[in-house]
Amino acid sequence: MDKEISTLQNIINTVIQYCVNYSFQVLGAIIVLALGFAVANWVSRLLLQLLKKRNLDITLSKFLAGVVRVLILVFAVIIALGKFGITIAPFIAALSAVAFGASFALQGPLANYGAGISIILSRPFVVGDTVLINEISGLVEEVKLACTILTDEDGVKITIPNKKIVGEIVHNSKVNKIVEGVIGISYDSDPVTAIRLITQAVEKFPEVAKIPKPQIGIQRFADSSIDIDYRYWAPTARYFQTMHAVNLAVFQALGKADIRIPFPQRDVHIISQPAQTQA
């Protein structure tokens, strides 16, 4: 019983001695960490607001604000550790070794982040642009460090890793997307009149961009028709909706003007062979 009491007394004395020796260090470390978190959040919000007022890209603004926040927090942790007399040199060496080993396993994600920074800084496209990358097209909804998110008229979100974008050919048509259509008229019809009617039908839609202007003209002389091609730019978010409406308007305009849209025809000539006489 005396031995247990003695052990308990030693523990209590140790705790009291620790509190006396390190109470101020612990309190100072807590205060430093609390101030570090408060200052980091305040500076990060302030920087983000300032960058927004400068009309800087929102993704780049959030990235810079996040980097500043992390740097302030790291600085606060270093000061807090110093309150206990702990040197950070061994931790830096250990983290360097871990980072070196992890870099091989994280080559893919790290490549995406590096490509994301390149996209944000070079800005080949921004939110709201229409891009075509490796036959994938859509409206840019968000540019993240790891990936770029596109959306099409059907509301389908397309996530592209940023490393698949950097180094590739990127087509950027801003907010619009080109629409191409073709319709054939008979050789008995006047192509000048048809082109005028198609131009009027296309340009009456407010969704069709005025700049650049729609392009309408003869595409080719086919076997059964004169093919007239019409190209115009429409908002990507209403691409199919505009295309369907324009195609119907073109068809109705030609029909009202009695311009015939022929179907493929083929002349078949039957040559009869004379009957062979029997010997």
Domain boundaries, the chain: 11-105, 124-172, 176-256
* pLDDT recorded at residue 106: 46
Rg (CA), the chain: 36
CB atoms within 10 A of CB 111: 16
Assess whether pLDDT exceeds 90 at residue 61: no
Q: At which residue do the structure tokens 């607001």 appear? A: 49
Could you tell me which residue, 104 or 226, shows the higher pLDDT?
226
**Mean confidence (pLDDT) of the chain:** 81
Same fold for the pair 11-105 and 124-172: no
Q: In degrees, to the nearest 5, what angle opens at C-alpha 242 toward C-alphas 241 and 243? A: 95
**Greatest distance between any 2 Cα atoms in the chain:** 142
Identify the top-confidence range among 46-50, 171-175, 194-198, 235-239: 194-198
Assess whether pLDDT exceeds 70 at residue 116: yes
Assess whether pLDDT exceeds 70 at residue 105: no
* pLDDT recorded at residue 228: 95
- Arithmetic mean of pLDDT, 192-212: 93
- Arithmetic mean of pLDDT, 36-62: 82
Helix pair 191-203, 239-256: axis angle to 10 deg: 140
Domain at 11-105, CATH from 3.30.70.890, 1.10.287.1260, 1.20.120.1200, 2.40.128.20: 1.10.287.1260
% residues pLDDT > 70 (the chain): 76
Domain at 176-256, CATH from 3.40.50.2000, 3.30.70.100, 1.10.40.30, 3.30.70.260: 3.30.70.100
Class of domain 124-172: mainly beta
Asked if residue 182 lies in contact with residue 222, where contact means CB atoms within 8 angstroms, the answer is: no
Q: Report how far apart, in Å, the C-alpha atoms of 185 and of each of 158, 196, 214, 247 are.
A: 39, 13, 19, 14
Asked if residue 180 lies in contact with residue 229, where contact means CB atoms within 8 angstroms, the answer is: yes
Q: What is the pTM of this model?
A: 0.58
CB atoms within 10 A of CB 105: 9
